Amino acid sequence: MPERRRAGQESVYRAVNSKRPVNLNLSTIHFPLPAITSIVHRITGVILFVGLIFAFWALSESLASPAGFDAVSDALANNFLAKLIAWGLVSALAFHFVAGIKHLFMDADFGVTLEGGVQKAQITVIISAVLIILAGVWIW
């Protein structure tokens, strides 16, 4: 028995002190769904910050004069690129919004478990997918 225990300690010692390979290649790592929704939350935040320039332009132009208002509504009604940007921004906003609500639930201590985390990430994906499709229908 003492010999077996020593062998066990030995293996732990070897594992801790070995020069184990370090894998930092992101493309070979399997990310669980909550990790993916977390990074997408960050990415959509950055997209929204950059894309705000279009939103501020549209708001300021539409309020500046009747001609400006017509230019913005005409672009959103007829210009494919403008529709695409609007849809992209609304989609990023939809995801960021839903993932943010998820954060507030977690702050309130709802479902802060491994299963709850996966489940909430799935719900986040489903609700934002529905909102993104609805936004596409609205814009087109």
Binding site feature residues for heme = 96
Task: Tell me: does residue 63 bind other proteins (CB under 8 A).
Answer: yes
For the bound state, the minimum distance from the C-beta of residue 107 to other proteins, rounded and expressed in Å, comes to 7
Task: Tell me: does residue 74 bind other proteins (CB under 8 A).
Answer: no
In Å, how far are 22, 80, 129, 133, 136 from 86, measured between CA atoms? 42, 10, 16, 13, 9
**DSSP at 26:** G
DSSP 50-71: HHHHHHHHHHHHHHH-HHHHHH
Task: Tell me: does residue 79 bind other proteins (CB under 8 A).
Answer: no
Footprint on this chain of other proteins (rule: CB under 8 A): 42, 45-46, 49, 52, 56, 59-60, 62-66, 69-70, 73, 93, 97, 100-101, 103-104, 107, 138
